[in-house]
C-alpha cells in the first residue's frame, strides 16, 4: 500500500474498487482526467471478514466469481491496476520514533520494532507504509495484515492483472481535493466507517478511523464529536490558526446537511461537499458515486 505523498511514478490507468456488495472497475481516458469506461459486478454478502487489524479474511471463490465475469466483459483487459479498498480494511496509528535511518528498509525495521507492544499480532505479519506526521519525531503508520492482501493480489494475478497499489478510499479521495497551501480536513463516511484525514502542506499527517453507530441520530452526534476532536488536534499540534476547510463526502445526505448546519455556528470552520463532475465519472445504477470517485482518484492522482 502506498500513501499518495510517497508516490513517484504515474499510477495505472485501470482501477478497481471493492465494497461490501460490489466490485467496480474504471479506466481513464487519454487525458487522465476522466473515466471513459466503468463497470460493476455484484459481490455476495459476507465475502470478507474484519478483525482487530482490519481485513482478516477474504472468500477467494466469491471474489473470483465476481472478478472473472467483470474482466471478461472488458474490451481491454488491464495488465496493471490499482485497487481501492474500504477504509475499515486498514488501521492507522501515530508513533513517536524520534530519528529514523535514511535507508527505507532499515527505517521500516525500526518502525516494526516500535509496533511490537501496540499490535495484537506479530509486526512481521503486517504490511505497512509510513510518513512523517510532524516535526517531533512522529510518523503516521498505515497497516494491515499481510496474508489476506496477498490472497487478494493472487486472485487478480490469476486473472492476468498485476496490482500495483492498494489504498483505502479516504486516502484515494485526498487526490481530489483542490490544490492549496492551506491545511484541509477530509471527512468520509463509508460502510459505517468514519474516516478523517488531515492534510497539511500537501502531506497527510493524521488519519483516524472510527466505527459509526447504526442509529442515524447517534451517528450524527458521534461524527460531530470526532470532528471536534480532530479540529482540536489540528489547532494544538498542526499549527492551524486560521479558517480550516472541511471537505465532506458521505452516501447519507442527511448527515451532510447536519454537518453543514453545525459549521454555520462553528467559528473558523468552512464545510464543503466534495463533488466530481458527471462528465468525469459516469454514473452506474445502484452504485455509490463516491466509490467511483475513488477509482478516478487512485488512477489519475488529480484534483477535482
pLDDT of residue 255: 66
Count other C-beta atoms under 10 Å from residue 216's C-beta.
13
State pTM to two decimals. 0.89
Same CATH fold assignment for domains 1-176+276-304 and 178-273: yes
Q: What is the pLDDT of residues 31-57, one digit of tens each?
A: 999 999 999 999 988 899 999 999 999
The DSSP H or E segment spanning 209 is: strand 203-211
> How many CA atoms lie less than 13 Å away from 183 in the CB half-sphere?
22
CATH superfamily placement of domain 178-273:
ATPase, nucleotide binding domain (3.30.420.40)
Between residues 280 and 252, the one the model is more confident about: 280
Which span out of 115-124, 156-165, 231-240, 270-279 was modeled with the highest average pLDDT?
156-165
Residue bearing cell 459486478: 41
Percent of the chain with pLDDT over 90: 46
Cα–Cα distance, 271 to 68 (Å, whole number): 41
Q: Domain 1-176+276-304, what architecture?
A: 2-Layer Sandwich (3.30)
Q: What is the pLDDT of residues 104-154, one digit of tens each?
A: 889 899 899 989 888 889 989 999 998 877 667 788 899 999 999 999 999
Spell out the residues 6+ positions from residue 168 whose beta carbon is closer than 8 angstroms to its own. 1, 84, 85, 86, 87, 89, 90, 142, 195
Q: Where are the domains of the chain?
A: 1-176+276-304, 178-273
Supply 204's cell numbers: 497527510
Which span out of 200-204, 205-209, 262-266 was modeled with the highest average pLDDT?
205-209
Q: 88: exposed, middle or buried (C-beta count within 10 Å: 0-12, 13-18, 19+)?
A: buried
Going by C-alpha positions, the residue among 130, 100, 101 that lies closest to residue 2 is: 130
Amino acid at each position: 500500500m502506498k500513501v499518495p505523498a510517497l508516490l513517484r511514478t504515474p499510477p495505472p490507468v485501470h482501477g478497481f474498487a471493492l465494497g461490501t456488495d460490489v466490485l467496480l472497475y474504471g479506466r481513464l481516458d487519454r487525458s487522465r482526467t476522466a473515466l471513459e469506461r466503468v463497470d460493476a459486478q455484484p459481490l455476495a454478502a459476507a465475502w470478507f471478514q474484519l478483525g482487530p487489524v482490519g481485513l482478516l479474511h477474504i472468500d477467494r471463490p466469491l471474489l473470483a466469481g465476481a472478478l472473472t465475469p467483470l474482466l471478461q466483459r472488458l474490451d481491454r483487459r488491464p495488465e496493471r491496476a490499482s485497487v481501492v479498498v474500504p477504509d475499515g480494511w486498514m488501521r492507522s496509528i501515530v508513533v513517536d520514533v524520534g530519528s529514523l535511518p535514511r535507508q527505507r528498509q532499515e527505517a521500516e525495521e525500526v518502525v516494526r520494532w516500535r509496533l511490537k507492544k501496540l499490535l495484537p499480532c506479530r509486526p512481521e505479519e503486517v504490511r505497512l507504509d509510513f510518513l512523517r506526521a510532524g516535526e517531533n519525531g512522529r510518523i503516521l503508520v498505515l497497516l494491515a495484515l499481510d496474508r489476506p492482501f496477498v490472497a487478494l493480489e493472487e486472485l487478480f494475478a490469476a486473472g492476468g492483472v498485476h496490482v500495483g497499489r492498494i489504498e483505502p478510499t479516504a486516502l484515494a479521495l485526498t487526490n481530489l481535493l483542490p490544490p492549496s497551501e492551506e491545511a484541509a480536513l477530509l471527512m468520509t463516511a463509508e460502510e459505517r466507517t468514519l474516516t478523517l484525514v488531515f492534510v497539511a502542506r500537501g502531506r497527510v499527517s493524521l488519519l483516524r478511523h472510527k466505527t459509526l453507530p447504526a442509529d442515524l441520530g447517534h451517528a450524527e452526534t458521534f461524527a460531530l464529536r470526532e470532528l471536534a476532536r480532530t479540529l482540536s488536534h489540528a489547532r494544538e499540534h498542526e499549527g492551524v490558526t486560521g479558517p480550516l476547510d472541511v471537505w465532506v463526502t458521505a452516501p447519507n445526505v442527511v448527515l451532510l446537511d447536519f454537518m453543514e448546519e453545525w459549521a454555520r455556528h462553528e467559528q473558523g470552520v468552512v464545510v464543503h461537499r466534495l463533488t466530481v463532475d458527471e462528465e468525469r465519472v459516469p454514473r452506474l445504477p445502484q452504485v455509490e458515486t463516491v466509490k467511483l470517485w475513488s477509482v478516478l482518484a487512485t488512477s489519475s492522482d488529480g484534483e477535482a
